[in-house]
Amino acid sequence: MSEAREAILGSIRTALKRGPLSQPERQQLESQIATPPHHTRPHFGDDLARRFAAKLESRAATVVAVSRMADASGAVVDYLDRLGLPKAVAAAPALENLEWPQGLAVRFGRAETSDQVSVTPCFAGVAETGSLVLLSGPSSPTTLNFVPENHVVIVRAARIVRHFEDAWDLLRKEAGGIPRTVNVISGPSRTADVEQTIQLGAHGPRRLHVVVVNG
Amino acid sequence: MQVLSPQFKPRATLALKDASLQAALGKARGGFVDKRAAAAAELPEFEQLREEAKAIKEHTLDHLDFYLERFEERVKAQGGQVHWARNAEDAQRIVLEICRKANAKTVTKGKSMVSEEVGINEVLEQEGIEVIETDLGEYIIQLAKEPPSHIIAPAVHKTKAQVSELFHAHHSKLGLTKVLTEVADLVNEARQVLRGKFFRADVGITGGNFLVAETGSSIIVTNEGNGDLTQTLARVHIVTSGIERVVPTLDDATTFLRLLARSATGQETETYTTVSSGPRRPGDPDGPEEYHVVLVDNGRSKMLAGRFREMLRCIRCGACMNHCPVYGAIGGHAYGWVYPGPMGSVLTPLFVGLDAAYDLPNACTLNGRCQSVCPVKIPLPDLLRELRHMQHEAKLSPWYQRAALAAWGFVASRPRLYHALTGLAVRALGWLGRGRGRFGYLPLASAWTKGRDLPAPQGKTFQEAWRERRGKSS
Mutate to test the interface with A, among B160, B192, B251 (most CBs of A within 10 A): B251
Tally of domains in chain A: 1
Of B78, B269, B302, the CB nearest to A131: B269
Which residues in B lie closer than 8 A to residue A171 (C-beta atoms)?
250
CA–CA separation, A202 and A117 (whole Å): 16
Task: For residue B213, give Cα distances in angstroms to B10, B72, B250, B254, B290.
Answer: 45, 8, 9, 14, 19
The 8-class DSSP code of residue A16 comes to: T
The predicted pLDDT at position B473 comes to: 64
CA–CA separation, B3 and B23 (whole Å): 26
Q: Is A96 helix (H, G, I), strand (E, B) or coil?
A: coil
Which residues in A lie closer than 8 A to residue B305 (C-beta atoms)?
14-17
Task: For residue B176, give Cα distances in angstroms to A202, B137, B164, B179, B193.
Answer: 18, 20, 11, 8, 10
A206 vs B: CB within 8 A: no
Q: Which helix (H) or strand (E) holds A30?
A: helix A23-34
Average pLDDT score over chain B? 95
Mutate to test the interface with A, among B222, B228, B252 (most CBs of A within 10 A): B228
Contact B261, B270 (CB under 8 A): yes
Q: Do B228 and A204 touch (CB under 8 A)?
A: yes
Would you tell me how many other CB atoms lie within 10 Å of the CB of residue A103? 7
Strand partners, A133: A124, A184
Question: Which CATH superfamily hosts domain B43-301?
Answer: NagB/RpiA/CoA transferase-like (3.40.50.10420)
- Helical spans, DSSP H, in B127-249: 136-143, 160-171, 183-200, 226-233
At B234-287, the pLDDT tens digits run: 999 999 999 999 999 999 999 999 999 999 999 999 999 999 999 999 999 999
Contact A214, A66 (CB under 8 A): yes
> Would you list the domain boundaries of chain B?
43-301, 413-473
Over range A198-215, report the average pLDDT.
96
In this structure, chain A runs to a length of 215
Q: What burial class does residue B283 get, using C-beta atoms within 10 Å of its C-beta: 0-12 exposed, 13-18 middle, 19+ buried?
A: exposed
CA–CA separation, B106 and B117 (whole Å): 21
Q: What burial class does residue A3 get, using C-beta atoms within 10 Å of its C-beta: 0-12 exposed, 13-18 middle, 19+ buried?
A: exposed
Q: Do B243 and A183 touch (CB under 8 A)?
A: no
The predicted pLDDT at position B474 comes to: 53
**d(CA A113, nearest CA chain B) in Å:** 9
The predicted pLDDT at position B369 comes to: 97
Q: Is the pLDDT of residue A1 over 70?
A: no
Over range B195-218, report the average pLDDT.
97
At B105-115, the pLDDT tens digits run: 999 999 899 99
At B213-222, the pLDDT tens digits run: 999 999 999 9
**Domain region containing A208:** 48-213
pTM of the model: 0.94
Which residues in A lie closer than 8 A to residue B302 (C-beta atoms)?
11, 15
Average pLDDT score over chain A? 96
If pLDDT is split at 50, 70 and 90, which confidence band does B435 have? confident
CA–CA separation, A31 and A34 (whole Å): 5
Pairing of strands A150-156, A207-213: parallel
A105 vs B: CB within 8 A: no
The CATH number covering residue A176 comes to 3.40.50.10420
Contact B249, B67 (CB under 8 A): no
